[in-house]
Chains A and B, each alone.
Chain A
Amino acid sequence: MPVLLRRRTVLGFAVAAVLLALAAPGALRADDEFIIVQSTTSTQNSGLFEHILPIFTKKTGVEVRVVAVGTGQALKNAENGDGDVVLVHSKPDEEKFVADGWGVKRHDVMYNDFIIVGPAADPAKITGLKDAAEGLKKIAAAEAPFASRADDSGTNKAELKIWQDAGIDPKPSSGKWYLETGSGMGATLNTAVGKGAYALTDRGTWLSFANKDDFKVLVEGDPKLFNQYGVILVNPAKHAKVKAKEGQAFIDWLIGPEGQAAIAGYKINGEPLFFPNARPQS
């Protein structure tokens, strides 16, 4: 029988493939020290984590693994105990999270702001407005396309609040000019750019977004567009597996001088994306 077909050769190949798969470095290494942080896609898309996390790991040797989903899902995952720390941007939900006993304590970490972006042509004529609600009113009146994340995220909740302030319910127009993508910030921006639609986005994601086409920042500076991020340790009393010690170490670092400096140091084209605003610990 030719060499290629001998039973031993075939089995030999199979074993070699398996060993190769196991031996290659990375993925299947034994359990190093790590924590899981449930955070949001907009924070991840901004690139902040790639900048600040290595600094923390270098100092403490603890790896930080970020699972990026919408704010609502991040908090729900934490309730299930599938994370050690939560870092999201929806203060009312965060406070409820702690009040319900799922989190230990909420700390301010940083803020940025939301902006409304849109095509250079600006059919709804909202450029330069200082009132976000006013901008949305004009978009609705013009029935100009608007892409919403519609994914229970912090950004989405902020957007819905502004619609509420404007006294408009966009949901009935879903599928017509109000496009609910159910996706993260980046995917929604892709849709917006693709369809020439307006969108509400956080500045961080927008600055690092690489597919802007001719889109511009049209509305900014409204205090209602203020976007506060908070960090919470998942309550180890509810889930014994929570790595409370390492998680708290991360939070302490994040709201301490080093973490805050790292956040401030993250810039794109000289512009910072996030502004640290943790209050000094008493």
Chain B
Amino acid sequence: MLDPTVPPGGLKAALDGVRPLLPLELRRLTYAASGKRVIDRLDLTVEERGITAIMGPNGAGKSVLLRLMHGLIAPTSGEILWAGKRMDRELARRQAMVFQKPVLLRRSAAGNIWHALGLRGIDRGERAIRVDGALKLAGLERLASMPARVLSGGEQQRLCLARALSLEPDVLFLDEPTASLDPASTLAIEGLLIAAQHRGIKVVVVTHDVGQARRLAQDVVFLHHGRVTEHEEAKSFFASPHSEPARAFLAGGLVL
């Protein structure tokens, strides 16, 4: 569902009256490790408007690409520009990421969110409000004082997502968030992502689950050997992919 009335650069940013983050432009981006080019002179533009799914076979470089975008690793060469500006601390604070395996501290569920907000310097009163809000949003209120690490896999991932959302990011990255979760948890997570997108948060999600991409994505980026072979509207991508690797991928074959 594309909404042409949403201004480029971020609905949420526009509403907040702060400088827009998007579009995100990657120009001739390269990342090499141990002599191998994991990301190879990649070009990509990510607009506001809808959830972007990044897909591709294993080893295509999806996770690395996500981490480059979020600034967790530095590229070997090339540029990453957010609305024309390089990544800095202020920009970094407006993003959040959820990893494939939930990463939670040895504290209560509420404590984990509280701690993350503390790192951002949110004052105590505001913190309490946001913790409550985030737990409620994710349906985890009654688990608030449980040790986070005894929660089930699905609950932990919902908590990680709730934590990320409590930071009120403009951009939310997710790296295969529901890869090891049961359908019910997957549904809950996807619901949260859609709601987040409606609130104006740009969501970029790496997924190998074609069904999930169909359900969530407005546009799809297909990655193969560290390069973007396709980037287009989800509907037309799934109806008829252009590139050979994408076609093979969607058909369920192994893409070498």
Closest chain B CB from A251 CB (angstroms): 64
Please tell me if B107 contacts chain A, counting CB pairs below 8 Å: yes
Chain B, 110-167, CB within 8 A of any chain A CB: 111, 145, 147
- CB-CB under 8 A from B111, the residues of chain A are 1
Q: Does B186 contact A (CB under 8 A)?
A: no
Q: In the assembly, what is the distance between CA of A1 and CA of B145, in Å?
A: 6
Chain A 1-51 interface residues, beta-carbon cutoff 8 Å to B: 1
B218 at the interface (CB under 8 A from A): no
A1 partner residues in chain B, CB cutoff 8 A: 107-108, 111, 145, 147
Bound form: Cα–Cα A50–B255 in Å = 90
- Interface membership of chain B positions 78-122, coded 1 if the CB is closer than 8 angstroms to chain A and 0 otherwise: 000000000000000000000000000001100100000000000
Query: Number of residues in A with C-beta < 8 Å to the partner?
Result: 1
Main secondary structure of the interface of B (DSSP, over half): mixed
CA distance A1 to B147 in the complex (A): 8
Q: In the complex, A77→B111 CA distance in Å?
A: 58
Label chain A's interface by main secondary structure. Answer: loop
B105 CB → nearest A CB, Å: 12
A1 to B108, alpha carbons, bound, how many Å? 7
- For residue B147, which residue of chain A has the nearest CB? A1
**Chain A residue with Cβ nearest B108:** A1
By a CB distance below 8 angstroms, the chain A residues around B145 are 1
CA A1 to CA B110, docked complex, whole Å: 10
Q: Whole-angstrom distance between the alpha carbons of A1 and B106 in the complex?
A: 11
Nearest A residue to B146, CB-CB: A1
Give the docked Cα–Cα distance between A1 and B107 (Å). Answer: 8
In the bound assembly, the distance between CA atoms of A1 and B114 in angstroms comes to 14
* Cα-based distance from A1 to B148 in the complex (angstroms): 11
Instruction: List A residues 124-169 near B (Cβ within 8 Å).
Output: none
The CA of A29 and the CA of B228, in the complex, are separated in Å by: 75
In Å, the complex CA distance between A79 and B218 comes to 88
- The CA-CA distance from A264 to B141 in the complex, in Å, is 83
State the CA gap A135–B233 with chains docked (Å): 111
Min C-beta distance of A61 to chain B, whole Å: 56
A residues less than 8 Å from B108 (CB atoms): 1
Cα A32 to Cα B147 with chains together (Å)? 53
Expressed in whole angstroms, the minimum distance between the Cβ of A105 and any Cβ of chain B is: 69
CB contacts (< 8 Å) of B147 on chain A: these are 1
Contact with A along B52-78 (1 / 0, CB 8 A): 000000000000000000000000000
A196 to chain B, nearest CB (A): 62
Please give me the residue from chain B that is nearest to A1 by CB atom.
B108
Return A3 CB to nearest CB of chain B, in Å.
12
A248 CA / B145 CA spacing, docked (Å): 70
Complex CA distance for A1 and B111, rounded to whole angstroms:
9
Contacts of B107 in A (CB 8 A): 1
**Closest chain A residue to B110, Cβ basis:** A1
* Complex Cα spacing A1 to B105, Å: 14
How many whole Å from A8's CB to the nearest CB in chain B? 13
Contact string against B for A residues 152-192, beta-carbon threshold 8 Å, 1 for contact and 0 otherwise: 00000000000000000000000000000000000000000
CB distance from B211 to the nearest CB of A (A): 39
Looking at the assembled complex, report how far the CB atom of A161 sits from the nearest CB atom of chain B, in whole angstroms. Answer: 70
Tell me the bound Cα distance from A1 to B112 in angstroms. Answer: 12
5 contacts between A and B (CB under 8 A): A1-B107, A1-B108, A1-B111, A1-B145, A1-B147
**Complex A-B, nearest 3 residue pairs according to Cβ-Cβ distance, in ascending order:** A1-B108, A1-B145, A1-B111
